[in-house]
Chain A
Amino acid sequence: MTKVNITLNGKAVSADVPDNTLLVSFIRDTMALTGTHVGCDTSQCGACIVHLDGESVKSCTMLAVSAEGAEVTTIEGIGSAESLHPMQQAFHENHGLQCGYCTPGMVMSAIELVGKNPNPSDKDIREGLEGNICRCTGYHNIVKSVQAGAQMMGD
């Protein structure tokens, strides 16, 4: 067991967990924030993406202990139902989600993508989301959502 101390959505948290605990299970099981999802076991789908010190990481691919001292932001820390983040609002406006399972990871990836490239082309978006699988939407409306989100984040 190791004590893990991180800042999670702006709040300092700590817990003793077995050394082999993945960051995603620290978030989901230990901290009971279930908005971060697990869609695969080979680091391919992106449903588990969170921001670690501002960068997108696949939380299924790293140990909780490796996040020691880091600032971790999950989908719960991005916006609320009363006050959606512009990217969340853009997904809503553009029907960028269906079953919602890929959505948290998509939104986290999209925010990072626009952070790095405030005026992405459709091609930039399609290539930038290469690490996120959506089985429902066919991506058309996700690309539109990210475009709209980029606009709204810029405003």
Chain B
Amino acid sequence: MPEGTTKDGIGAALRRKEDKKFLTGSGRYTADISRPGQLHVHFIRSDHAHAKITSIKTDAAAKADGVVAIYTGEDVAADGIGGPICGWVVTNRDGSPTNEPPHPILANGKVNYVGDHVVAVIAESLQQARDAAELVDISYEVLAPVVDLASAAASMQIHENVPNNMYFDFELGDEAAAEAALADAATVVELDVRNNRLVPNALEPRAALAEYDPVDESYTLFTTSQNPHLTRLVIGAFMLSIPESKLRVVAPDVGGGFGSKIYVYPEEAVCTWVSKKLQRPIKWTADRSESFLADAHGRDHINKVRMALDANNRITGLRVDTLANIGSYLSAFSVVTPTILHAPLLSGCYEIPAIYTNVRGMATTTAPVDAYRGAGRPEATYLLERVMDVAARQVGMDPAEFRRMNFIPKDAFPYQTPVALQYDIGDYEAPLDKALDMIDYKGFEARRAEAASRGKYRGIGLSSYIEACGIAPSAVAGALGARVGLYESATVRVDPTGTVNVMTGTHSHGQGHDTTFAQIVADKLGIGVEQVEIIHGDSDKTPFGMGSYGSRSLAVGGSAIAKAVDKVIDKAKIIAAHLMEAADSDVVFADGKFTVAGTDKEKVLSDISLAAYVPHNYPHDRLEPGLEETAFYDPLNFTYPSGTHIAEVEIDPATGVVQLVDWACCDDFGNLINPMIVEGQVHGGIAQGVGQALLENAAYDETGQLITASYMDYCMPRADDLPDFKVDYTVTACTHNDLGVKGCGEAGAIASPPALINAVINALTPIGVTDMSMPASPEKVWRAINDATQAQAAE
């Protein structure tokens, strides 16, 4: 574990402040909270992928033991309840807008996926609600399902206002230039890739508990959210017409999110709506099967890639045509993920003069698909890093050297790509070299030969990724279709005795903000981390913020905290000058002490804060009492973490099992605040990427039933599927935030799938296998080996 530089400030591998409650079972997750008199809701979900609802009979159920109320889509419509909105839309190639179908929180006349919410049964106990649900009689007229992405456009139209089942038809880049590069190329490399569909599977299932207070006519919603303020805004303003000031949203401890807990879902809105109707608290907890059916899924793209190389094997052009499965409704960030978060990443770490991409977002009768760890960037990185390997093979170059010669050189920053982004800083060779060293790339052929002597195929594969974190600035995002701001907020409150409360608009659900943010504040104020409390996740306590996703918390939220602390220091210096009878400009603040140059006068933070709240001797003519500052930080640009991940695998030809034997990665996240936490984020990201590449796949059958709807059928990595990871860093500090940080939460999940699939293909190249789709399951690998060896034998 890397050790930090100072005791507990910036750079220290400080153990986490939040650990003890979790280790002793005192965490407080939404499902752990109960309210006196609470009722339980059970949702009856569609078991058809696509059907008209012809009747719903609830009489028998309404009389069942413990049942208090039953609601359907008609009740929702009668009360004028709106659906969850899409948070970001794009303009189509022809200038028309994204087609946005309605999304009722209980289906009204029609269901569009297996798991769609149809009836809410509310009873005294969960068991009674479930039992009563058995008595509800729903008749359906089944319609043709739309499951296959490739043929979705030619299938039955799902939504009235979505012709050809196409929500949007987006493009970016210069089509003529890309086509010209392909026409003039010395080598054209082609690749069809599928990015498999995933279920995020945070270990804590979603849950909600809503309570209405008739005295002050206000609501409190506890919910498993990554962004409580956005939930409040959407439910309050767009769905239930509740004044924002009358709705408090609390996201307490949240057991992982990975994107799936960004969005507002029908269940939490139903709980909130019904809590007033019945004047009782309403609780809902998903079981795992419901999470599989109705949490937003991730990925699910089909890509056609063509890359142009000149005679020197330098990349001259790239064209990517993508079909993105968006599912049955437009979830909050379903449109931005495969477009704005995908297309601009297609330049990767490389100098590519001409790039063009077209992305079509398709409706299918499957669960909504939205951002999952990495969100668009893993999809872009996967196709790019796969085609890089294919290209290297095609021209007979080592894949590491082929990447190196096409890297954007480190003296070329800031670098403007042909797909909208301007990278502020980077050095892609440094992490490549380090990672190659870490895994002993030079020694690989000897290891391959040794494995072969044991009858195993050994392979090595790499991926050099870039990502873009902390989408920004708000004005540019707005011009690109965002309906939200992308700043972050923080309030830093110094108490009279000098302890500090920090209210942040971000949300921590495993990332360790209580510790990382406290380190920033402690470091800047020269106090101990134990004097700093981080408060997040409660719309009543924290300033309006955007929450946590897209690796934005530190780069955007941490920067807001740093700014607020700076404001506190500025004010404290004036107070200190007054107390020490010095000129402002003579006061120096360092190591937690305010001193006057050339004297032995000295004050510490608690002297200043006491004076600020007991302002008997105070510069009233210049300052208001108190020591509390708020900052909103809207970044100037994205941040651009990058790095190289290398996977080494061994394949058993008898079983097709791919064993991951080694992993080395070197990432450039800019400055590190807590290297221990960063390393944990890298590990977790790699594990999820390994899951995608080797094990995980969300599969629907042709009727639209999700056939991988439990942990028995959807395989996630377990401890014995993974090796130890070798993790290291290089640093180029971000140029446009004061902390010089870039973000680290998604990098592992972005970099790892192509590295692993490249390693599998590398292992099997000697026997003639040239392609492998995700997940590289034992069956698939075994068949590929068998087909290849039979083909070789036939020659």
Contact = CB atoms under 8 A, between A and B. Distances in A.
A97 B77 CA distance: 44
Nearest to A125: B719
B724 A143 contact: yes
A45 B202 contact: no
Interface string A103-130: 1100100000000000000110111011
Among B202, B509, B711, the most chain A Cβ lie within 10 Å of the Cβ of B711
Contact of A135 (B201, B253, B289): B201
Interface in A37-87: 37-42, 44-45, 47, 74-76, 78-81, 84
A66 B180 CA distance: 73
Contacts of A104: 22, 25
Contacts of B23: 75, 79, 84, 88, 91-92, 97, 100, 103, 107
B166 interface: no
Contact of A35 (B15, B18, B24, B719): B24
A145 to B, nearest CB: 10
A138 interface: yes
A102 B203 contact: yes
Contacts of B15: 92-93, 95
A104 B253 CA distance: 14
A129 to B, nearest CB: 4
Interface in B730-775: 748
A84 B203 contact: no
B288 interface: yes
B658 interface: no
Nearest to B32: A34
A142 B719 contact: yes
A40 B722 contact: no
B256 A34 contact: no
A12 interface: no
A102 B15 CA distance: 19
Nearest to A92: B19
Nearest to B718: A130
Nearest to B22: A100
B710 interface: yes
A133 B204 contact: no
Contact of B204 (A33, A92, A99, A107): A99
A98 B511 contact: yes
A80 B680 CA distance: 25
A49 to B, nearest CB: 12
Contacts of B201: 135
Contact of A95 (B16, B255, B687, B688): B16
Contact of B254 (A99, A134, A137, A140): A99
A80 B24 contact: yes
Given A39-B204, A133-B716, A138-B683, A18 B25 contact: no
A92 B748 CA distance: 23
A65 B29 CA distance: 27
Question: How many interface residues does chain A have, given as a range?
Answer: 35 or more
A84 B288 contact: no
B24 A39 contact: no
B256 A101 contact: yes
Contacts of A125: 719
Contact of B203 (A29, A41, A47): A47
Contacts of A88: 23-24
B255 A99 contact: yes
Given A44-B710, A100-B253, A136-B256, A81 B26 contact: yes
A18 B127 contact: yes
B545 interface: no
A98 to B, nearest CB: 4
Contact of A44 (B27, B683, B712): B712
Interface string B1-43: 1000000000000011011111111111101101000000000
A99 B202 contact: yes
B686 interface: yes
B294 to A, nearest CB: 14
Contacts of A45: 203, 288, 711
A133 B724 contact: no
Tell me what chain B mostly uses at the interface: helix, strand, loop, or mixed: loop
A78 to B, nearest CB: 8
B115 interface: no
A146 to B, nearest CB: 9
Contact of B710 (A38, A40, A80, A136): A40
A127 B289 contact: no
B725 interface: yes
B203 A101 contact: yes
A75 B25 contact: yes
Among A35, A88, A95, the most chain B Cβ lie within 10 Å of the Cβ of A95
Contact of B720 (A37, A127, A134): A127
A141 interface: yes
B156 interface: no
Nearest to A142: B719
B440 to A, nearest CB: 20
B205 interface: yes
A117 B715 CA distance: 28
Given A92-B19, A100-B255, A41 B289 contact: yes
Contacts of B685: 138
B760 to A, nearest CB: 19
A70 B609 CA distance: 56
Interface string B187-205: 0000000000000011111
Nearest to A137: B684
Contacts of A34: 25, 28-29, 31-32
Interface in B678-700: 679-680, 683-688
Nearest to B690: A138
A130 B510 CA distance: 22
Given A42-B710, A99-B203, A136-B256, A92 B687 contact: no
A61 B202 CA distance: 21
A22 B684 CA distance: 32
A130 B720 CA distance: 7
A98 B510 contact: yes
B722 A81 contact: no
A39 B21 contact: no
A33 B34 CA distance: 12
Contact of A126 (B204, B289, B720): B720
Given A81-B20, A137-B683, A129 B510 contact: no
Among B203, B256, B710, the most chain A Cβ lie within 10 Å of the Cβ of B203
Interface in B108-140: 127
Contacts of A97: 19, 22-23
Contacts of A40: 288, 710-711
B616 to A, nearest CB: 39
B512 interface: yes
A12 B687 CA distance: 42
Contact of A76 (B25, B32, B254, B748): B25
B219 interface: no
B223 to A, nearest CB: 16
A26 to B, nearest CB: 13
Nearest to B512: A98
Contacts of A107: 23
Contacts of B719: 125-127, 129-130, 132, 134, 139, 142-143
Among A18, A40, A76, A91, the most chain B Cβ lie within 10 Å of the Cβ of A40
A81 B20 CA distance: 6
B677 interface: yes
Contacts of A84: 20, 23-24
Q: Which 3 A-B pairs have the closest CB atoms?
A: A35-B25, A100-B22, A101-B255
8 contacts: A34-B28, A35-B24, A39-B288, A94-B1, A95-B679, A98-B684, A134-B719, A140-B725
Given A93-B15, A99-B22, 15 more contacts: A41-B289, A42-B712, A75-B24, A80-B24, A84-B23, A100-B21, A100-B22, A100-B253, A125-B719, A135-B256, A135-B716, A136-B684, A138-B684, A138-B722, A140-B725
Interface of A: 18, 20, 28-29, 33-42, 44-45, 47, 74-76, 78-81, 84, 88, 91-95, 97-104, 107, 122-123, 125-127, 129-130, 132-143
